[in-house]
Structure 1
Amino acid sequence: MQIAFVMDRLEGIDPVFETTAALMYECNQRGHSVLFLEPHDIYVRRQHIVARMKDVTVARDLSIKQYWDKAVARQQEESISFEELTELDALFLRKDPPLNYSSVEFLAPIRNQVFMVNDPFGMVLGNSKLYTLNFPDLTPETHISRDPSRLRKIIDNFGGDMVIKPLGRFGGQGIIKVSTRDPENLNSLIHYYVGAHKPYADREQIMVQEYLKGVKEKGDVRILMLNGEILGAMCRKPPDGSFRTNIHAGGKAFAHAITARERQICEQIRPRLLADGLYFVGLDLIDEKLIEVNCVSPGGIPRINRLENIRMETRVIDFVEQMALARKQSRQAALK
């Protein structure tokens, strides 16, 4: 099969801890043609969606580091394959957040012709922190506004610690804990985050959410889901002096046994994920409450593999092969 990955430059990736690298390695091991492109490589030629792609297929049975070094070398070669994207068997959309809306617009017209992980329309919906509002009974108390006085009143009325989250950031960036115990700084922080000096319509909306105290001791839980089923999970605990559990913010990963309640949450959101074409996602939970749905390049496979002595990428590629073959057979039948 020809399987392409829309992603970031290979040179800046540590393959040992990168989920995309694990997926590409597994494709290469199976003898598939592995193609690399960046969002800006997609364009239109005579009404057809095409792309500048690099073939980064290399020899099999290398270590992950050896494989990656050779893939990077292939990507740096001058040869470029200009192909119609509809000739691909599968396309992974693995560009790190934020979502590249331009590439999504290019891919939308062919979303039913190539199997994509994840569906472009679904990624537009799931990319936002607002996606969790589809499951209000599963989330902590949540408010969103760009009005400083309203936000201050929400925090005052709540009476306990809350978390401020800018809607457009990722990887734990800009997330802070606030309370009424420091009212002077609280007002300044709210005004800063919304951009209160701007006209009301130009301000940034921010999320104010109940602070779940369990995050300090127990951390959060990342659950990876594939086609609506649990693929694996890990616990992430924050470093000393912080409540942010993101690995990029210094969090550490530990093995995690999924609870009955966490399974119920996954079952409850499963139909919506599948309806939106979000086949491979990462759920973040704290104290058995849903915090975020990650559908833009969700990570965690290499770390969970090490913690559980498994290889989750094999299940992902099994699924993609099955879906790609079924779509190809369906298209062939429609042409008869």
Structure 2
Amino acid sequence: MKICFLMYPWERIEPETDSTLRLIHEAALRGLTVVLTTPNNLTIRESVAYAFCNVLKKTTKVSTNIPSFYKSAEFKRCKLPMGGFDVIIMRANPPLDTTALNFLDSVRNDVFIMNDIDGLRIANNKLYPASFSGDAARFIPVTHVSKSQDYLEQVLEESPTEKMIMKPLNGFGGQGVIVVEKSAQQNFRSLLDFYIGGDQENYVILQEYVEGANYGDIRILMLNGEPIGAMRRVPSEKDIRSNIHAGGKEVKHVITKDEKRLCKAIGAQLVRDGLYLVGLDVINGKLIEVNVLSPGGITRINKLNRTRLQKHIIDFIENVVSARELVIERKNSFRKVIEDAEAI
């Protein structure tokens, strides 16, 4: 199997914790052809999508120690057609590069892309949870999104709770997430000026404050609509954000019955949208965000639970590719029968 990771630059990887590196290592252990590239390396020649890629050399035995594997990895530089891969794994960091998705539109019928490019288009920002309906809707906190300062001030004024969460629509990694309180409402317009911008450039989210947020959130990794692992992220004493990159720390967590109900309620839609590998951020049974572009947590969940989630993920990918190849093989065999009949 030939697998391409469309990701951030190799030199920016933190080998002790990086989730993408775990997937690359698992693929290399299996002897798969592993190729890395970045969105900036995509190109088109004569209407064919290519990328300037780094092909992992298979000259030495793959070390079972992942940081050692990272340090010893050697690559060959090539320009390769994107349609020649069996699978493309999207692991570029936010924000989403929509131009990169446009490059891949021409190969989407020939290559299994995870996550699906249309799924990424509709789910790459914090509006996606609002698309869940039916039973899933009860797991979504009350959320308001606007560029109107007057409206957002009215929302805060009329809120039944003393405080709300405010964050930029296109933020990531916990950037810009703050608590706003009615008692400090005189500062609210100034905050909106900053978040929205003078020319009303940016949308702002005002969200119901979920009780228990001060104790952190739960990151649940979903694969093909099912939970495969989780951890609790606890914020530092001086920050409301539980993101690891914002100073939070990870703690072992067993998925609760309510969280399982949440996963079941949204799992089918995730699969329909082609979002096979996602990270859910959950607080007190409420779905706060769906991370679809490069969900992390594999390394920390592995460590807390003595597991290897990357094995399950690559197993899934191999099964999908095998099923697609079987369909093509059957189609070709049927076409051959028809061609033979025509020749008689």
Alignment TM class, shorter chain as reference: over 0.9
Map of 1:210 onto structure 2: 208
CA distance in 1, matches of 2:327, 2:43: 26
Q: How does 1:180-259 map to 2 (within 5 A)?
A: 180-195=182-197, 197-198=198-199, 202-217=200-215, 219-259=216-256
Ranges of 4+ aligned residues in structure 1 off by more than 3 Å:
332-336
Moved more, 179-188 or 24-33: 179-188
Alpha-carbon contact 2:224-2:277 (below 8 Å) kept = yes
Cα displacement string for residues 17-69 of structure 1 (whole angstroms, at most 9, x for unaligned residues): 11100000000001111101011212222222221111124431341111101
Question: For 1:212 and 1:306, how far apart are their aligned partners in 2?
Answer: 28
Aligned to 2:158: 157
1:329 offset after TM fit, Å?
A: 2.6
1:262-314 Cα offsets, whole Å, 9 max, x none, are 11111111111011100000000001000000010101111000000011110
Deviation at 1:125, TM superposition (A): 0.9
- 1:299 aligned residue (296, 299, 324): 296
Q: Map residues 30-179 of structure 1 onto 2, 5 A cutoff.
A: 30-58=30-58, 59-71=61-73, 74-75=74-75, 79-135=76-132, 136-158=137-159, 159-179=161-181
Give the secondary-structure state (helix, strand or coil) at the position aligned to 2:250: strand
For 2:325 and 2:78, the matched residues in 1 are separated by: 22
Name whichever of 33-42 and 18-27 sits farther off: 33-42
Tell me, what secondary structure is at the counterpart of 1:40?
A: helix
Q: How far apart, CA to CA, are the structure 1 residues paired with 2:114 and 2:96?
A: 14
Is 2:270–2:276's contact at 8 Å kept on the other side of the alignment? Answer: yes
| AA matched with 2:154 | K
Match of 1:324 among 318, 321, 326: 321
Equivalent AA in structure 1 for residue 239 of structure 2: S
In 2, Cα distance between equivalents of 1:169 and 1:261 = 27
* Structure 1 unaligned blocks of 5 or more: none
Distance 2:104 2:175 in 1: 28
Q: Tell me the number of residue pairs that the alignment of Structure 1 and Structure 2 aligns.
A: 326
C-alpha contact (below 8 Å) 2:210/2:286 kept by paired residues: no
After TM superposition, give the deviation of residue 172 of structure 1 in Å.
0.4
Q: Which residue in the other structure is 1:277 paired with?
A: 274
TM-score calculated relative to the size of structure 1: 0.94
Q: Distance in 2 between matches of 1:128 and 1:142?
A: 13
User: What is the TM-score with the length of structure 2 in the denominator?
Assistant: 0.92
Provide the rounded CA distance (Å) in 1 between the counterparts of 2:251 and 2:57. Answer: 33
Structure of larger gyration radius = 2
| Aligned equivalents of 1:286, 1:264: Cα separation in 2 | 14
Question: For residue 55 of structure 2, what is the amino acid of its counterpart?
Answer: D
Once residues 317 and 326 of structure 2 are traced to their aligned partners in structure 1, the CA distance between those partners, rounded to angstroms, is: 14
Say if 1:215 and 1:237, in contact at 8 Å, map to a contact too: no
| Residue identity (%) | 38
Check conservation: 1:35, 1:57, Cα contact below 8 A: no
Letter in 2 for 1:223: I
